[in-house]
Amino acid sequence: MTSAPLSPQRLDRFARHIVLPEIGGAGQVALTQKHVVIVGLGGIGSPALQYLAAAGIGHFTLIDDDVVDTSNLQRQTIFTSRDVGYGKATSARRWLANFDETLQVEISDTRIGSDNAGALIGSADLVLDGTDNFATRLAVSDACVSTTVPLLSAAVGRFQGQVGAFAGHLPGQPCYRCFVGDAFDAEDCDTCAEDGMLGAMAGWAGTFGAMQGVRALLQGVSAFGDPQFGKLHILDGMKPGMRTLTIAKDSACKGCGAITADPSQ
């Protein structure tokens, strides 16, 4: 498919990207053709959406079954007091429409799980998961493996965050289940209501996730395209600092363990 050139207005909007040799015009055009699914529009999903939209991603699917609460406004930056009581997915779509009316946007306010995750994310180029429980994260991870969609998984709590890129559908690459294992359900994950969270920490994790998303989407297109699959970046807001771990593929993983070699060889 031939890439359509950017209009003068779009060239002006993304000029600061285009002049970066690591992204350039080819990278910017590629971003406009990408489809990103964001699962969870909370403390991570909100800033991630803002910077992915600002980067020029052309197509979004937004998934969240929750409504905006006053307590969300401390860290969920796309919402205002006028959104309290309304669905997060609907409010996020409204924010996108005000920010850039050219974007293609679908929403789902149905809770995502193992029964519908594949249908919701299967057409995407990338999934960014910022949800707050392991049951949902594992359902999303398994669906990403089965539909061969790369996954960025981000989490945050108190003064710490983590962002990891997973491609368990590829030979030798781990999935999120390789990282956390199987022994989790919806009750296993502490919530920010119980433990607290620095609002800016959610912003750091979300915007770092957006940057890693741009990296993954530009693989094979520009010099910035490095998906860093199997790398987990741990963010420490108290120091502050960051360290990076490599996640190994688990050959016994229920999500991706069967994918161990290139079937063409």
Point out the residues that are catalytic: 192
- DSSP helix/strand/coil, 103: coil
Peptide bond connecting 263 to the previous residue in cis, omega within 30 degrees of 0:
no
Q: How big is the chain by its Cα radius of gyration, in Å?
A: 18
Residue 27 identity (one-letter amino acid)? G
Q: Which residue has the tokens 């996108």?
A: 96
Q: Among 71, 78, 74, 70, which residue's Cα sits nearest to residue 40?
A: 78
Tokens at residue 69, please?
């609460």
List all residues 6 or more positions away from 133 whose beta carbon is below 8 Å from its beta carbon.
186, 188, 189
Q: Are 127 and 121 in contact (CB under 8 A)?
A: yes
Q: Given the DSSP bridges, would you call strands 231-236 and 160-166 parallel, antiparallel or unpaired? A: antiparallel
Q: Which residue has the tokens 């962002």?
A: 163
Count other Cβ atoms within 10 Å, centred on residue 78: 22
